[in-house]
Chains A and B, each alone.
Chain A
């Protein structure tokens, strides 16, 4: 593993089903984030975690939950998927580059809810 790994890469899901998107990083970054990206909109923060054991709500948290049991893993769960959750989901973690708190992103998970 180098950087951030997300799984699955893509998934088609029936409405009402439960789904967990996995995210693992090997950079020992304290902070991790889940974003969704929709056409014509900026990245929107769903949930974040500043350190293992803590989580916080972002801009669009409804319908999603997260956990942060350890530094490396930050799964995102959709308890009962709805079509409006069709999106590309990016997991990210942050470290420091030239004094800036820079995000490193995973490759993304494309989710389609029918």
Chain B
């Protein structure tokens, strides 16, 4: 079967760095996506990895290892507004997205 695993909840301190991990088992691979979802709002696109390695976008970076079925999202210089759920999704062999349940990130002052 297809499966995306990520931690349910994480807590971090304002100004710090946090790494959110995602492991996946899917039929085929057509890219790994990270989305941010604030409570009561729609998910919004953060990053995309299709090749192994690190993609950096400002305070956010995403890493992919296809051989290990593993990705992480790294958030630096955490701000209170980063409190949200972070959703990992993988494109399968039919280019449909398989979604993880999301990691709720709580930022404390």
Q: Number of residue pairs across A and B with beta carbons under 8 Å?
A: 51
Given contacts A58-B96, A97-B45, A100-B31, contact A41 B50 (CB under 8 A): no
> In the complex, are the beta carbons of A42 and B96 less than 8 A apart?
no
Number of A positions contacting B (CB below 8 A) = 21
Chain B residues engaging chain A, CB cutoff 8 angstroms: 4, 8, 31, 33, 35, 41-45, 48, 50, 87, 89, 91, 95-102
**CB closest chain-B residue, reference A105:** B42
The digit string for A92-114, where 1 denotes a CB below 8 A from any CB of B, is 00000111111111111000000
Q: Report A25-51 residues with CB < 8 Å from chain B CB.
A: 40-45, 48
4 A-B pairs with the lowest CB-CB distances in the bound complex, closest first: A42-B99, A100-B48, A105-B42, A43-B99
Q: Contacts A42-B102, A100-B48 given; 16 further ones with Cβ under 8 A?
A: A40-B8, A42-B4, A42-B89, A42-B100, A42-B101, A43-B87, A43-B99, A44-B99, A45-B97, A48-B96, A90-B42, A102-B33, A103-B35, A103-B43, A107-B41, A108-B41
